[in-house]
Amino acid sequence: MSDVMFDDRQDGGRRLAALLVERGLGEGGRSEGARGLGGGGQVVVLGLPRGGVPVAAEVAAALRAPLDVIVVRKLGFPFHPEMAMGAIGEGGVRVLDEDLVRRFAVSREEVAAVERAEAGALADRVARFRGDRPRLDLTGRTAVIVDDGIATGATASAAAHVARALGAARVVVAAPVGAPDAVLRVEGADEVVCVGQPEDFAAVGAHYRTFGQTPDEEVAEILARTRRAEVPR
């Protein structure tokens, strides 16, 4: 078993937040230019629904930065939906691992069918989590994209490209744990930060003692609670 282990997503988020502060993201939501993650002005923390949002909430609280979601959808193989061949995100962003598609002989028609199905789910999730609330403006800011783990890099890559397309000056992808090869495959980010990258990585959940599914209701509640806390008294 790997020596990287977290009690739950909240524990992972707190430990990730401590590392980010150490690497140059200080309190008050501003990056410290003299240290590794500096540049890009004010910090915005973006959680990947669903499991990344509880982690991101801990990071946002520690950095005193605003929290929002960044919505992407994994493009799973037709014969194995849990295995990603790519991902799509807000703003029409699309990332596809062409090598995997060729290796497993997935046709263009099959890719298109998966993408159509996931596009509908993407729009539904944006409406569910954000509603009529406008997304946070990323223009000129440092976007810290947080997930509970990086297993393939496809979803993180899509999110990074989305943040860049929305005007982020700097993009940091962060997670408590990541597969070493997947971390290297993340595209579109200026830096990828993980508390641990175990060589024996098998699945994200294997590195958490408690790793249940995060319901949509929990994501919505976290975002609502964070918004209430940001309202001036």
Q: Per the domain annotation, does 2 fall within a domain?
A: no
Q: Please report the sign of the dihedral spanned by the C-alpha atoms of residue 90, residue 107, residue 110, residue 151.
A: negative
- Domain end position, chosen among 85, 102, 130: 130
Does residue 39 surpass a pLDDT of 80? no
Partners of 69 in the β-ladder: 47
Query: Mean pLDDT throughout 18-29?
Result: 78
- Domain end position, chosen among 108, 130, 152: 130
Q: What is the DSSP letter of 52?
A: H
- Highest mean pLDDT range out of 93-102, 108-117, 151-160? 108-117
Q: Per the domain annotation, does 1 fall within a domain?
A: no
- Domain end position, chosen among 130, 163, 178: 130
> Which CATH number characterizes residue 121's domain?
3.30.1310
Res. 68 pLDDT band, cuts 50 70 90: very high
Chain mean pLDDT for the chain: 88
Does residue 230 surpass a pLDDT of 80? no
Does residue 151 surpass a pLDDT of 50? yes
Same domain, 153 and 225: yes
Contacts of 178 (CB under 8 A, 6+ apart): 149, 150, 151, 192, 194, 196, 197, 201
Greater confidence (93 vs 28) lies with 93
Lowest mean pLDDT among 56-65, 127-136, 202-211, 212-221: 127-136
Query: Mean pLDDT throughout 158-172?
Result: 92
- Highest mean pLDDT range out of 123-127, 145-149, 155-159? 145-149
Same domain, 206 and 145: yes
Does residue 15 surpass a pLDDT of 90? yes
Query: Per-residue pLDDT tens for 101-124?
Result: 999 999 999 999 999 999 999 999
Count: domains in the chain: 2
Closest by CA to 70, choosing from 153, 147, 141, 132, is 147
Q: What is the DSSP letter of 103?
A: H
Q: Letter for the amino acid at 232?
A: P
Q: Per the domain annotation, does 103 fall within a domain?
A: yes
Same domain, 142 and 38: yes
Same domain, 105 and 183: no
3-state secondary structure of 107: coil
Q: Letter for the amino acid at 160?
A: A
Q: What are the CA-CA distances from residue 101 to residues 104, 110, 188 (Å)?
A: 6, 10, 20
Greater confidence (227 vs 208) lies with 208
- Total number of residues shown for the chain: 233
Q: How many CA atoms lie within 13 A of 150 on its CB side?
A: 31
Does residue 78 surpass a pLDDT of 90? yes
Cα separation, 4 vs 197, in Å, equals 8
Does residue 215 surpass a pLDDT of 80? yes
Give Cα 143 to chain centroid, integer Å: 10
Cα separation, 17 vs 11, in Å, equals 10
Contacts of 97 (CB under 8 A, 6+ apart): 84, 85, 86, 152, 154
Same domain, 206 and 92: no
Does residue 29 surpass a pLDDT of 90? no
Instruction: Print the domain residue range for 48.
Output: 9-71+135-230
